[in-house]
Structure 1
Amino acid sequence: MDAVILEEQPAAGITVVNGRNYMPDAKGKLVPVDLIKPADKLQDEVVRKVMGYALDISAQVGRFRVNTMTDLDGFDQLLDQEYGVKHGGQKGNRSYQSFDGLLKVQVSVGDFIDFGPQLQTAKLLIDEYLNELTADSPQQIQALITEAFHTDKAGKIDPTAIKKLKRLQIDDQRWKDAMRAIEDAERVNYSKQYVRFYRRSSIEEQWSPVTVDLAKA
């Protein structure tokens, strides 16, 4: 009976061609392993090892998030049934506690907002208003307006800066029309649920967060 020869599998990142080991570089070119600097090979090994752990933990967190929301949604449905509520759609912010009051799970919903074309109309109205102000007009207001309509590299407007602008109480019809245009421009692009965990040793103490980053899962 002929002996079975087991061929050793190449290490991660290694490609075997005609019995010779190669590693692809960033451009996809196969470089012979014996021509690669030892420091570069060691760096590749370390990164692959660390990323292996990171991907495994990420997958566990993802499964944990799904299981957590399944359990909480199941509990919510039981409550709905008890009180005769027809469950539909995503629920808002809510909090769950253990019977002893020492453990808490908190679910919050964050809305991601962008703006429609009415925002440009609001900008024109605000510019008209500013053009009639004197040179010694409040610098703080001008700074808030500049910040509100500043766009990032992706061309996005910061909703937080727009909210600061809306807090200003200015008794001018163009300003009021601009604020109404901003409200009409606001639209919820999408919503996302966030789950946070807390614990404490006694009910007299403040809550301490249990860090599990589910926001990116």
Structure 2
Amino acid sequence: MDQPKVPDGYMRNAQGHLVPLDLVKPVDQERDRLVRELVAIAKDLNARLVASKTKIFGDVAAFAELSAEQYGVKRGGAKGNITLHTYDGAFKLQIATAENVTFDERLQAAKALVDECITEWSQGSRPEIMVLVQQAFQTDKEGNVNVGRILALRRLEITDERWQNAMKAIGESVQVIGTKQYVRFYERVGDSDRYAPISLDMVAV
């Protein structure tokens, strides 16, 4: 968002007031200059990342369509993972599609059934399962549950009918609310079969 123009000889403070330059400490002026200079670099990087992302996904999708057409195959939708290698195997890129999963109101019914089991088992000798279940239904600061932990409960070999009904309710409560696509680039390490990622993460570079 464009900031309103500041007249020469003034700086605008955080409250939106114009302050004469001679009333602004030199260190405050230098901090302002530095941050603006670095923000300009960040915004330029952001714009180039957006343009690069559009080109990468567009080009890979077009190539996949071209490749499929040569074999008379019609690709459907954007879902799916793609890995492409250079001819010499020195580089590869991967397009991965991840689903954004949540649960509907049936998760609460499942939790009630699980709680019944845990209450009964608390008299027995299954402390590890109790801990696992308690962790699974914990929520974060936004009140969201961990999808992976919830779904991991379904892998437990428990034959109790209430537990089985709870696991069925969990399965039926899963809702896919969107998908995200990720691209990752790799470079082969020497003559080995191992690939090292080419990081696009500012923290990692």
TM-score of the aligned structures, taking structure 2 as reference length: 0.89
Q: What does 1:46-65 correspond to in 2, within 5 Å?
A: 46-65=34-53
Superposition pairs for residues 55-204 of structure 1, below 5 Å?
55-200=43-188, 202-204=190-192
Q: Secondary structure at the match of 1:150?
A: coil
CA distance in 2, matches of 1:134, 1:157: 23
Per-residue CA deviation, residues 92-121 of structure 1 (Å, 9 max, x unaligned), is 111000111111011111111111000000
1:99–1:20 CA distance, 2 compared to 1 (3 A): closer
Give 5+ residue unaligned stretches, structure 2: none
Which entry has the higher C-alpha Rg, 1 or 2? 1
Q: Which one of 26, 34, 56 corresponds to residue 22 of structure 2?
A: 34
Cα shift at 1:144: 1.4
**Change over 3 Å in CA distance of 1:201–1:161 after alignment to 2:** closer
Letter in 2 for 1:90: A
Q: Does 1:206 align with 2:197?
A: no
More displaced stretch, 71-80 vs 160-169: 160-169
Alignment match, 1:4: none
| 1:211 maps to amino acid | S
The answer to whether the aligner puts 1:15 opposite 2:17 as a matched pair is: no
The 2-side partners of 1:136 and 1:37 are apart by: 70
Give me the whole-angstrom Cα distance separating, in 2, the residues matched to 1:31 and 1:159: 51
